[in-house]
Amino acid sequence: MRITVLTSLFPSGPRPREGIFAERRWALMRSRGHDVRVVQPLPWAPLSLGRAAWRELAAMAPVETRSGLHVTRPRYLHVPRLARFNAASFAREGLRVITRGERPDVVVADYAWPASQAAAALVAAGIPCVVNGRGSDVLAVAGEAGLGDELARNLRVAGHWCAVSEDLVRRMDELGGAQRGVLVANGVDAELFRPREPLVCRRELALAPQGELVLVVGHLIERKDPLLALQAFAAAARALPNARIAFVGRGPLQDALLARAVELGLERRMQLVGEAPPQTLALWYGAADVLLLTSRREGRPNVVLEALSSALPVLATDAGGTRELLRAVPGALAESRDPDVLGARLREILHAPPDRELLRTQARSFGWEAGLDALEALLAKSIEAAR
């Protein structure tokens, strides 16, 4: 199949982890013999993005090859607070690139919004379109952003959709008005994310060998709620004088985290690591005693997959597809968002962690192959329907 992926998120030199699981999926599809090309329109909005973000966008190569995938990055005008205008501009520029060369057999609107805005034009041109949901591109757009009707229309026009979690599939089915969604789950790189010797990992990361280490991985943004993770750690730390917490990720809540840590008297026990490449992140999983995830909303959290594959215990709030990953792990899913309740559960896990072989066994059930098989079948079905 000739597959074109229209997406707003894909790794690049300045942002190597943004959309990294999408790169992995499409590289694996290429290894199955498919011709996969990526189109990632980038916003041109120098006055609204801030200097740091603008520098990163400006540094992204307009054309490059990553993991054997040809990536094209055209520019489109982005106007602050005009979501529909921006999505239409994104789609129009993406369509210009897609239609100027050899026609693809199918286009995947990866990250449902804004990519699904191209669905109507693609279908009108006789090119089948499959919409893929990954998390906030469905949940936030349909909810907080107030664009649910628009996204629902795009799904109905495309006629085919998939998502990385059962929870997202159900939500997209509701929006599309039909039970057509297909689960196309992400897998995990079990060779990279594997059990490691904690003391060796701590030595490589220049960490103290003693004391419990709580790990938080993800963007420092509202929906990940890192402040709740810090508060839960504070509740647990009262009985754990040598425990520390490390945040791997970056985002606008960094200053708020620092300020809150000072208020709680934890500034010496908290480390803000910033973003880490996969090889370094694997060391953090190996060095830690537990992964703490306090998201308000999730698609299917990749960090949980990586932690389980690393045989690292997990404590996570019940959000989106998280339950699907942890339902076979006793005590890993927290029903409450109360920091004291989370802190007590955190202490329990640190004191009596679950069997690590159970965690590893759970991770083995989340390989890439089943998802890739489902994706191939869905794309083939969309092509046949268009004929």
In whole angstroms, what is the distance from residue 133 CA to residue 128 CA?
A: 17
Q: Are both 160 and 223 inside the same structural domain? A: no
Question: Which range of residues forms the domain containing residue 83?
Answer: 2-186+367-386
- Picking from 188, 306, 325, 186, the residue whose alpha carbon sits closest to that of residue 248 is 306
Q: Is the same domain home to 20 and 167?
A: yes
Asked if 363 contacts 255 with a C-beta cutoff of 8 angstroms, the reply is no
Is 102 within a domain? yes
Query: Considering the domain boundaries, does residue 148 fall inside one?
Result: yes
Q: Is 209 in the same domain as 78? A: no
Same domain, 232 and 180: no
Torsion from C-alpha of 301, 303, 309, 312, nearest 10 degrees = -120
Are 359 and 301 within one domain?
Answer: yes
Does 363 score more than 90 pLDDT? Answer: no
Q: Are residues 164 and 250 in the same domain?
A: no
Task: Indicate if 293 and 357 belong to the same structural domain.
Answer: yes
Residues in the chain: 387
pLDDT value of residue 45: 62
Residue 279 predicted with pLDDT over 90: yes
Look up the CATH number of the domain holding residue 72: 3.40.50.2000
132-141, 173-182, 189-198, 223-232: segment of lowest average pLDDT: 132-141
Please write the tens of the pLDDT for every residue from 199-219: 999 999 999 999 999 999 999
Both 23 and 120 in one domain: the answer is yes
Cα-Cα-Cα-Cα dihedral sign, residues 331, 336, 341, 343: positive
Is residue 358 located within the same domain as residue 373? no
The answer as to whether 53 is a domain residue is yes
Tally the domains of the chain. Answer: 2
pLDDT at 17: 85
Radius of gyration, CA atoms only, the chain:
21
Between 49-53, 147-151, 160-164, 241-245, the lowest mean confidence (pLDDT) is in: 49-53
140 & 223 share domain: no
Question: Is 193 inside a domain boundary?
Answer: no
Residue 87 pLDDT greater than 70, yes or no: yes
Q: Which two tokens stand for residue 213?
A: 């280490």
For position 51, what pLDDT does the model report? 66
What integer best gives the mean pLDDT of the chain? 93
pLDDT digits (tens, 9 = 90+) for 347-361: 999 999 998 888 888
Residue 234 covered by a domain:
yes
